Amino acid sequence: MTNDDGVHAPGLAALTRALVTWADAAAASGGPAHQIVVVAPSSNYSGAGAAVGSVADRTAIPYQRAKVEGAEQVEAYGLDASPALSVIAGAMGAVGPKPDLVLSGINYGVNVGRSVLHSGTVGAALTASQLGISALAVSLRAGVTPDPWESAAALAVALIPVLASGPPRTVLNLNVPALPLGEIRGLRWARVSGAGLIKAASGTSGSSGSSGWESPNRPEMEGPAAVEGALAIMEAGPDEKGEIVLRVGSPFPRSADMETADASEDATLVAQGYAALTALRGPRADDEPALHDVLDRGLAAALAPLGIGN
C-alpha cells in the first residue's frame, strides 16, 4: 500500500483498516494468508505524478517506521520519497518480497480528467504496472464533512478479486463520490475526461503588480475546445520577472451543463453520484499501424537529406 497524501493520512488509514478486515475474513474462511505492508511518503506528495527525483544524486532514502491509525499491527514505513519511488523501493525488496498487488490511496480529492496524468496516487499505480504488478488507485471526492472514507475503502476492497483476476500490469483508477455507501448510485466504467483543476494562467508584473498578459484561453474551456478557442488576447509579453497566476476550479461539469455532459466520462459520473472505474495503460510503445504509416513517410523525408535510412 502507498499513497501521495502521506503515511499518516486518514485515507490511507481507512483503506488499511478495510484491508485488514478483508484479510482476516479470508484467513478465517480457510483462504490464503495475506500480508499487508505500507510503504508511503512521509509527507504530502500530491501532484507528483510518477516522479522519482534525481536518484543518481541521492541513492539512499531516509525512512521511519510508522503506525497506521486503527491498524497499528500493520508493518508501515514512511519514506522521504515520492509515491512512485516508494513503490519502486517496496517492489525491489526493501521491505520484503515483491508484492502481488499495489493499492494506492485513498486520495483526498478525485483524480479524473487531466489529474490522471499528474496525480501521485495514480503515478504510484502506473509505476507498479511498469514493474509487472497490477495496481488500484483510489480517490474520494472532497468537500463533505465527515469524509465518508469507508465508502471508498469498501469499493476498493470489493475490487481486489477483479484486479487480481486481470492480466499482469492491470491498472484500475477508482473515483468515488463523497456519499455514504448506500447512497452511491452504482459503479460504472468510465472514460478519462478532458477536465482539469487549472482553468487558466495569467502573468503578473513583478515590479508594479499589474497584469502583464492574460490567458489566451477562456477559463471555461476544456480539452480540445481550449485549443480551438485560443484566440490571441495577450496585451503584452511576459515581464522579465513576475508571477504566473493560476485560476483553479472544479473538474466537474457545471450543474447547468449536467444534462448535456458526457455520461461516460469519469468527472460526469462522479458528479452524478456514481463511482467511476477506469482501466489505465502506462507508458508503452504505440504500435497503431496507421500512425506508423504516417510517421514512416515523415521519417523518410526528414532523414533523406542526412543520408540516413529508417
Assign residue 96 the CATH number of its domain: 3.40.1210.10
pLDDT computed for residue 23 by the predictor: 97
- Burial pattern 207-221, b for ≥16 Cβ within 10 A else e, equals eeeeebbebebeeeb
Supply the range of the domain harboring residue 240. Answer: 198-248
Classified as helix, coil or strand, 286 is coil
pLDDT computed for residue 235 by the predictor: 46
In a domain? residue 62: yes
In a domain? residue 188: yes
Grouped pLDDT means (10 residues each) for the chain, 310 residues: 98 98 96 95 95 86 97 97 97 94 97 94 98 97 92 98 95 97 97 78 60 51 43 53 75 68 88 96 90 90 84
In a domain? residue 34: yes
Strand partners, 280: 171
In a domain? residue 162: yes
166 and 27 in a single domain? The answer is yes
Note the pTM of the prediction, 2 decimals: 0.86
161 and 67 in a single domain? The answer is yes
202 and 174 in a single domain? The answer is no
CB atoms within 10 A of CB 199: 20
205 and 188 in a single domain? The answer is no
Q: C-alpha grid cell for residue 107?
A: 486520495
93 and 208 in a single domain? The answer is no
pLDDT computed for residue 219 by the predictor: 46
In a domain? residue 182: yes
20 and 161 in a single domain? The answer is yes
123 and 223 in a single domain? The answer is no
d(CA 98, CA 133): 9
Contacts of 164 (CB under 8 A, 6+ apart): 100, 101, 134
How many helices and strands in the chain, by DSSP H and E?
9, 11
The tens digit of pLDDT for each residue in 103-150 reads 999 999 999 999 999 999 999 999 999 999 999 999 999 988 899 999
Query: How many domains are there within the chain?
Result: 2
d(CA 164, CA 30): 18
Q: E strands of 153-252, at which residues?
A: 171-176, 187-189, 198-205, 211-213, 242-248
CB 226 within 8 A of CB 143: no
87 and 185 in a single domain? The answer is yes
164 and 217 in a single domain? The answer is no
pLDDT computed for residue 233 by the predictor: 41
120 and 217 in a single domain? The answer is no
pLDDT computed for residue 222 by the predictor: 46
180 and 222 in a single domain? The answer is no
